[in-house]
Amino acid sequence: MPARPSTRPATPTPVRPTAEAHAAQSPTVNATITAGFWAERRDVNARVSIAQGPDRLTEAGNLRNLRRAADGETSGYEGGVPFMDTDVHKWLEAAGWQLGDPTTDPGQAAELAERVREIAGLLAAAQQPSGYLNSYYQVAKPEAEHFTELRWGHELYTAGHLIQAAVAHHRATGERELLDVAVRFADHLVETFGPEGSGKPVDSVDGHPEIETALVELARETGDARYTELAGYFVGRYGGVFPSRSTKGPGRAGYCQDHLPVREAPAVTGHSVRQLYLLAGVADLAAETGEPELRATAERLWRDMAARQSYLTGGIGAHHSDEGFGHPYELPNERAYAETCAAIAAVQFGWRMALLTGEARYSDLAERTLYNAVLCGVSLRGDTYLYDNPLHVRDGHADQEGARPHRTPWFSCACCPPNIMRLLASLPGYLAATSTDGGTLHVHQYAAGTLAAPVAGARAALRVTTDYPWDGRIALTVEETGGSAWTLALRVPHWSATGWRLAVNGASAPTGSFEHRDGWLRLTRTWAAGDTVELTLDLAPRFTLADPRVDAARGCVAVERGPLVYCVEAIDQPKLPAGLGLDDLVVDTAAGIGRAERDDLPGGVTGLTLTARPRPRPEPDDAAPWWPYRSLDDAPGAPGGEPLTLTAIPYHAWANREVSAMRVWLPADA
Amino acid sequence: MPARPSTRPATPTPVRPTAEAHAAQSPTVNATITAGFWAERRDVNARVSIAQGPDRLTEAGNLRNLRRAADGETSGYEGGVPFMDTDVHKWLEAAGWQLGDPTTDPGQAAELAERVREIAGLLAAAQQPSGYLNSYYQVAKPEAEHFTELRWGHELYTAGHLIQAAVAHHRATGERELLDVAVRFADHLVETFGPEGSGKPVDSVDGHPEIETALVELARETGDARYTELAGYFVGRYGGVFPSRSTKGPGRAGYCQDHLPVREAPAVTGHSVRQLYLLAGVADLAAETGEPELRATAERLWRDMAARQSYLTGGIGAHHSDEGFGHPYELPNERAYAETCAAIAAVQFGWRMALLTGEARYSDLAERTLYNAVLCGVSLRGDTYLYDNPLHVRDGHADQEGARPHRTPWFSCACCPPNIMRLLASLPGYLAATSTDGGTLHVHQYAAGTLAAPVAGARAALRVTTDYPWDGRIALTVEETGGSAWTLALRVPHWSATGWRLAVNGASAPTGSFEHRDGWLRLTRTWAAGDTVELTLDLAPRFTLADPRVDAARGCVAVERGPLVYCVEAIDQPKLPAGLGLDDLVVDTAAGIGRAERDDLPGGVTGLTLTARPRPRPEPDDAAPWWPYRSLDDAPGAPGGEPLTLTAIPYHAWANREVSAMRVWLPADA
């Protein structure tokens, strides 16, 4: 592989708006994560998850499918879904970002580059002369006319992931082999798709959005605006494309956001990954075109998602049966679907919104989603995964047939594992951005490492030192700066809005020396090398309540500390009186939250302690000992007995030991 | 049609244990329902639901499928499921019971008999020489070897419904045409299925139980014990028959109860209709064979269903994605599946258990299920249906794409509508039974009409006069009796266990003149014609709490009156302060429950009133107005403002007007 210049202008990142984009911020920041929480998670991602990828893709048949396509075979397709190729593409994208990261171990980088080269060669060999490339249609359905089964066939979805992989690889390494494959396919799409009257043969969209955001990024990478135009056509085309078979479930139009033109949609709906990939494309287009209606659409639907459809973890998509959004505030805990991919998509959409608008809220939610709803999707060891992410696992669950969660090394529909890989590999790209006026460096996420960017006409470089999220202190040291004044903007999470402290060069920052507004703490000065800024966020653990319309959390509290949502896993708890379990405990909120002094918690996390009492099990009703309901007059007594000290761990660390009961929302006396 | 003898020995009923059965009670009772609640519902069932059946079966293609099979066509099968025939069979069964009911309008009976004759002829014509009959396999898959796709093919399930229809028709009318078809098919099954080493070619079961209970009943109807033996083989065969593709969802073994031999199953699991049809067969076999382990299995699994898996309505099966049971106490309200068919199956299973054991609890739960979870499945007009039955529909739901419930005239998988038809048509068979020692007449369900049975060696006849469940008084007048003493046993529902009153011949029954134990009130005496017994059940409306482990009902109360579960439907409520909806109200339990003096409620039901106050919507958090969670320190205030009077209606009457929000469980201050 070619040496990567150490003075690269910016981290290879999945979203790089053009210079002409109507975006508030630009991610032209060279960021590294060198220590601490995210360095550890990313190290596991690189050494274990990404490294195991080719074996998983071999075992599951994905690579053999492409081999068959390359060899012109028309039978033997393996796997239960038509989009098996996308697991390969997402792994390639992860490998691409990892290759673009200077912290990657050189030995691993060389091995990764070799595997990427092999697979890129396979893709080039499998690509048809037209540019078309899809092992399912080439091997399993060679007789099918292309792009005639778009409701379920995932052809453009698969193309989108190929394009994203190619962009990542090219952006990170400068190599063109994958990009050339993607460009040939994209050119084929440009020739194929267009509105009625355009002379293009197909006027339709994919049942699974994804191509839209991919095409915009390909345009950004190649400078070819035709791809942005095609993305704009696709984004605008949803709304009545497919015949609706049903008013509910996957058959309904809204399942794939085809119920209304997206500009008219009042709320998020349907399959949550489809919805958010579409919205990522909307945000990308809003940035590139400056169209106010597209921006308003993205803002409106993000807010609907955040305010009415989000679990405390940032997880979204309540329904199992259509992997979709439920109704507003319908957020069941035990039956949360909260697919890992949907959380990843929410982070990707959120970052596009952060760049588009410059508003802190998008990174506020993305931080929460990353630490909780995304990270729970992969084990601490990096070798097994969760697809859906419940917030409650009941006592006795482990004894039941089909007990979950089973973290497993892979899934028959394996969308989530390589999706986590690509997100974590690209994480440095989500840390910081410069204002498009060039005068401000915005720090969106906190991780120990380095940030460098052109600000106020010169290169500014900062070192970030922190043990966040375990410790609230984030120290930033100016290592390089020009002579002009510029603004350092630090995001203050909403949970710390009134509890932060700021010191500059060791002294508490006096009022007037900074501005705090809308989630951003702005310090403007003529910086000098060696200047330090220390922001201390409020990590006092807190009890959290849900909006009363979240029925599933009625009468409960959750525990949070900083960006981390906590949960109580039965395996960590003291022995309970016989017959009682986690579901029988009531938290005494007045007793507060303490720090767990234990060294046996998974991943060395900071544990918290709570006080709870068992609630008496109701005595059976003599007239109906078989019935779990009873008269209000016969209500069981209040919780009593000796208080118990419970230990809570961060939600992302749950399910890393034997299966046991777990709760995020805890019944409480409050 | 042949005249039915008015002195028929017993109501044609779906469950008629043999004289040798090891059952505590026998349904050899001649029962009619002539007035009141169930007479009205059954009149609608006969005049509207059943009468419309042939049109629906024509429109949906079911009858054309059979026509094609009869004509030897091998293409053109209509419908999305392989068991389209069963809708026909269940309608035939409903028609059979209706023909056996002397209250059926003679004109309608003649028309029904004619349609049954036509369809029976079609079935006979479609039947293959082997006895095999299944339009899906004959028309759509003529090349498939029979009984090789039993995991999903529903061949025996379909055969089972054919057999049940034939038994109903023969039992009700004495006609043999349908029965002959069923016997030919059953004989084919006897020749085909058996354990390894039996010389039978197929050693397997159906992925959807149903054949088991059908075969036992066919044995009862024909006296041919081979069918009971085959049922016993099938019941015992589950447990490892099918390769398991998954640990969850429809792919898991437990989905079709194939995870364990049923005698070893600790709990109900999987697809709830499959589970309960299997258990109906287990109960039937326990009665016919006297095997203690089978009886213990049925008792154990019924109790698990009742105590840990039942909604307040009696509905069961919490999950949408596999139409199955969730975990114990996992009973989400908004996302309740509670399929109408599962409730029907629970009633059918419960009746078998009532006869097997003689215990009142089974009819106690069946009553609740009938009045609530079953009856909500059909509109008051009898022309539209619900498939799944939520206990909560949220504010604003009606405005959403895919808003539910849409009661619809039929479904693409139309199992529920003809299932309701057959249950309501057979309802007189569920009212009463005699003890197998011949000395007691047990009244299980209360409906105005007549009951006649052989008791203490002579015919006893009673007239039942009641406006139950609107009024708690149930008057029974002895119209005919022999000279010997016998016992009249009246079921006292669990909710009235301490609140009933009893009068005999107008005078309060003194202690010692009766026995009250285990849900039965037993009066033993030498009855004389003209004797009256008046039982008054306690219909004081009551607030009900759930077991605290039912997370979905935490902090809520429900309202019940007698066997009726009530709900609050938004359409009946006063205008709320702007922006507030049903989900913003908190019930003041101390204000009690009143009687609604309104004549605008659907179906003329008795409405109840509650007092509630709006809960203030939390003020947005300045730091995160987009986030629905907040610190406990920032909890919104208590409900306040002017109290509102809410109207509640019986759950079975909901969704009979325009779609609006609805709640069974109401947030309460209790």
**CATH number of the domain to which A480 belongs:** 2.60.420.10
Please indicate whether residue B237 or residue A8 has the higher confidence score (pLDDT): B237
For the segment A588-601, what is each residue's pLDDT rounded down to a tens digit? 999 999 999 999 99
Helix (H) or strand (E) holding B396: none
- Residues A340 and A407 occupy one common structural domain: yes
B263 assigned to some structural domain = no
* Lowest pLDDT segment from B3-7, B12-16, B489-493: B3-7
pLDDT of residue A670: 60
pLDDT of residue A618: 80
ipTM value: 0.94
Q: With 50 as the cut, is the pLDDT of residue A20 above it?
A: yes
pLDDT band at B4 (very low <50, low <70, confident <90, very high): very low
pLDDT band at A575 (very low <50, low <70, confident <90, very high): confident
Chain A environment of B310 (Cβ under 8 Å): 627-628
pLDDT of residue B1: 34
Q: What are phi and psi of B157, to 5 degrees?
A: -60, -45
Q: Are strands A532-536 and B666-667 parallel, antiparallel or unpaired?
A: unpaired
Taking the CB of residue A250, how many other CB atoms lie within 10 A of it? 17
Q: Look at residues B511, B536, B561 and tell me which one is the last residue of a structural domain.
A: B536
Mean pLDDT, residues B164-176: 97
Rounded to whole angstroms, the maximal C-alpha distance in chain A is 84
B511 assigned to some structural domain = yes
Mean pLDDT, residues B402-406: 63
pLDDT band at A640 (very low <50, low <70, confident <90, very high): confident
Chain B environment of A521 (Cβ under 8 Å): none
Chain B environment of A550 (Cβ under 8 Å): 628
For the segment B327-368, what is each residue's pLDDT rounded down to a tens digit? 999 999 999 999 999 999 999 999 999 999 999 999 999 999
Catalytic residue positions of B, numbered:
323, 415
For the segment A31-65, what is each residue's pLDDT rounded down to a tens digit? 999 999 999 999 999 999 999 999 999 999 999 99
- Residues A364 and A457 occupy one common structural domain: no
Per-residue tokens: A658: 């034997």
Tell me how close the Cα of B630 comes to any Cα of chain A, in angstroms: 5
Given a contact cutoff of 8 angstroms between Cβ atoms, the answer to whether A662 and A392 are in contact is yes
For the segment B128-150, what is each residue's pLDDT rounded down to a tens digit? 999 999 999 999 999 999 999 99
Q: Do A627 and B543 lie within an 8 Å CB cutoff? A: no
Q: Look at residues B536, B561, B589 and tell me which one is the last residue of a structural domain.
A: B536
Q: With 50 as the cut, is the pLDDT of residue A3 above it?
A: no
A8 assigned to some structural domain = no
Count of helices and strands (H, E) across chain A: 15, 24
Tell me how close the Cα of B454 comes to any Cα of chain A, in angstroms: 30
Q: With 50 as the cut, is the pLDDT of residue B2 above it?
A: no
Q: With 80 as the cut, is the pLDDT of residue A4 above it?
A: no
- Residues B488 and B570 occupy one common structural domain: no
Q: Which of A494, A520, A589, A613 to mutate to test the interface with B (most CBs of B within 10 A)?
A: A494
Q: What are phi and psi of B512, to 5 degrees?
A: 100, -20
In A, minimum Cα distance to B552 occurs at A552
Which is nearest to B23 in space by CA: B404, B392, B311, B434? B434
- Residues A259 and A341 occupy one common structural domain: yes
Q: Which residue is associated with the tokens 């935490």? A: B554
pLDDT of residue A7: 46
B441 assigned to some structural domain = yes
Chain A environment of B408 (Cβ under 8 Å): none
In B, minimum Cα distance to A615 occurs at B548
Specify the CATH number for the domain of residue A249.
Answer: 1.50.10.10
Mean pLDDT, residues A428-442: 96
Task: Output DSSP code: residue A271.
Answer: B
| Residue in A217, A323, A339, A534 annotated catalytic | A323
Angle at A134 between CA A128 and CA A137, to 5 degrees: 100
Given a contact cutoff of 8 angstroms between Cβ atoms, the answer to whether A181 and A133 are in contact is yes
A5 assigned to some structural domain = no
pLDDT of residue A5: 35
Quote the CA–CA distance of B442 and B432 in Å, as a whole number: 5
Chain A environment of B252 (Cβ under 8 Å): 401-402
For the segment A272-290, what is each residue's pLDDT rounded down to a tens digit? 999 999 999 999 999 999 9
pLDDT band at A402 (very low <50, low <70, confident <90, very high): low
Which is nearest to A556 in space by CA: A531, A535, A578, A587? A587
pLDDT band at A80 (very low <50, low <70, confident <90, very high): confident
For the segment B261-286, what is each residue's pLDDT rounded down to a tens digit? 999 999 999 999 999 999 999 999 99
- Residues A112 and A238 occupy one common structural domain: yes
Quote the CA–CA distance of A529 and A484 in Å, as a whole number: 12
- Residues A445 and A404 occupy one common structural domain: no
Q: With 90 as the cut, is the pLDDT of residue A415 above it?
A: yes
| Residue in A256, A341, A376, A415 annotated catalytic | A415
B384 assigned to some structural domain = no
CB nearest to A332's CB, from B328, B335, B629: B335
Q: Do B329 and A628 lie within an 8 Å CB cutoff? A: yes
pLDDT of residue B622: 87
Which is nearest to A365 in space by CA: B626, B630, B621? B626
pLDDT band at A310 (very low <50, low <70, confident <90, very high): very high
* Lowest pLDDT segment from A180-184, A507-511, B387-391, B492-496: A507-511
- Residues A426 and A283 occupy one common structural domain: yes
Given a contact cutoff of 8 angstroms between Cβ atoms, the answer to whether A167 and A186 are in contact is no
pLDDT of residue A163: 98
Q: Do A548 and B615 lie within an 8 Å CB cutoff? A: yes
Percent of chain B with pLDDT over 90: 88
CB nearest to B630's CB, from A307, A544, A615: A544
Tell me the residue type at B518.
D
Tell me how close the Cα of B317 comes to any Cα of chain A, in angstroms: 13
Percent of chain B with pLDDT over 70: 97
- Residues B486 and B572 occupy one common structural domain: no
Q: Are strands A440-443 and A486-491 parallel, antiparallel or unpaired?
A: parallel
Quote the CA–CA distance of A39 and A9 in Å, as a whole number: 21
- Residues A516 and A608 occupy one common structural domain: no
Q: With 80 as the cut, is the pLDDT of residue A232 above it?
A: yes
Quote the CA–CA distance of A204 and A152 in Å, as a whole number: 13
Q: Look at residues B536, B566, B600 and tell me which one is the last residue of a structural domain.
A: B536
Q: Do B558 and A635 lie within an 8 Å CB cutoff? A: no
Q: Which of B262, B299, B312, B335 to mutate to test the interface with A (most CBs of A within 10 A)?
A: B335
Please count the structural domains in chain A.
3
Strand-pairing partners, residue B507, are B504
In B, minimum Cα distance to A398 occurs at B327
Average pLDDT over all residues of chain B:
94
Q: Which residues of B285-296 are buried (b: 16+ CB within 10 A; e: fewer)?
A: bbbbbebeebbe
Tell me how close the Cα of A358 comes to any Cα of chain B, in angstroms: 16
Chain B environment of A544 (Cβ under 8 Å): 629-632
Mean pLDDT, residues B517-524: 96
pLDDT of residue A2: 36
Range of the domain at B461: 432-536
Mean pLDDT, residues B432-450: 97
Q: With 70 as the cut, is the pLDDT of residue A8 above it?
A: no
- Residues A487 and A608 occupy one common structural domain: no
Please indicate whether residue A395 or residue A161 has the higher confidence score (pLDDT): A161
B389 assigned to some structural domain = no
Q: Do B330 and A330 lie within an 8 Å CB cutoff? A: no
| Distances, alpha carbon A302 to alpha carbons A332, B50, B257, B627, in Å | 21, 49, 43, 11
A396 assigned to some structural domain = yes
pLDDT band at A404 (very low <50, low <70, confident <90, very high): low
Q: With 90 as the cut, is the pLDDT of residue A221 above it?
A: yes
Mean pLDDT, residues B408-420: 94
* Cβ contacts of B261 within 8 Å, gap of 6 or more: B236, B238, B239
DSSP collapsed to 3 states, B464-527: EEECCCCCCEEEEEEEECCCCCEEEEEECCHHHCCCCEEEECCEECCCCCCEEECCEEEEEECC
In A, minimum Cα distance to B631 occurs at A544
Chain A environment of B589 (Cβ under 8 Å): 632
Q: Which of B491, B549, B663 to mutate to test the interface with A (most CBs of A within 10 A)?
A: B549
Active site residue A323: yes
pLDDT of residue A243: 86
Quote the CA–CA distance of A370 and A420 in Å, as a whole number: 10
- Residues A347 and A373 occupy one common structural domain: yes
- Residues B530 and B559 occupy one common structural domain: no
pLDDT of residue A250: 86
Quote the CA–CA distance of B333 and A552 in Å, as a whole number: 10
CB nearest to B550's CB, from A401, A519, A628: A628
pLDDT band at B397 (very low <50, low <70, confident <90, very high): confident
Q: Do B623 and A498 lie within an 8 Å CB cutoff? A: yes
pLDDT of residue B171: 96
For the segment A622-636, what is each residue's pLDDT rounded down to a tens digit? 889 999 999 998 888
